[in-house]
Amino acid sequence: MKSIYDFTVRDMEGKELSLSEYRGKVLLIVNTATGCGFTPHYEPLEAMYRDMRDRGFEILDFPCNQFANQAPGSEDEIHKFCTLKFGTEFPQFAKIDVNGDNADPLFVYLSTEKPFAGFGKGLKNAALQKFSDMNNKTFGDKAYIRWNFTKFLVDREGHVVARFEPTVDMAEVRAAVDAALQA
């Protein structure tokens, strides 16, 4: 059975890094954007990282510009924004595509393991669904990720155990991470 450790990604300098470097850790893998309405998620993400990293927790941040051009900067510009505005210390990787023919294989795998199940109920979620549908129609069946700040929880064995759309309350995400760390 395939696991997250079978994948290689590029760090901010473009160097290849095997995710097996994170073997034995609980991971939260996130596609991000600096100009998104969900960008404030960086704050609770960083708080989780600071509170839980000593327990074997890592957040892996993958900037993506496929959603309404909300991450147009270079890797360096994005990194400076995140560290200066939100004080982020968790690993940030090279900007990638998460949808379409050039989708990073890691995100294809994550999305296959935990497919999109909707944004939830409510007017805001319905509006995001409509906007997401318009944005992602060009990707067809390769619209793996529906919007920025989709989060995947990976257990210590490298298996994807949960997917959180950006509309999920961050307290719920934190509780799931805490439970995975205790397992």
In one letter, which amino acid is 182? Q
- Token pair recorded at residue 2: 């395939």
36, 64, 96, 106: the active-site residue: 36
Give the separation between CA 25 and CA 158, rounded to whole angstroms.
8
- Residue 23 DSSP symbol: T
Tell me the chain's radius of gyration from C-alpha atoms: 15
The answer to whether residue 36 is catalytic is yes
In one letter, which amino acid is 19? L
Give the separation between CA 70 and CA 66, rounded to whole angstroms.
8
Residue 18, SS3 per DSSP: strand
Catalytically active residues are 36
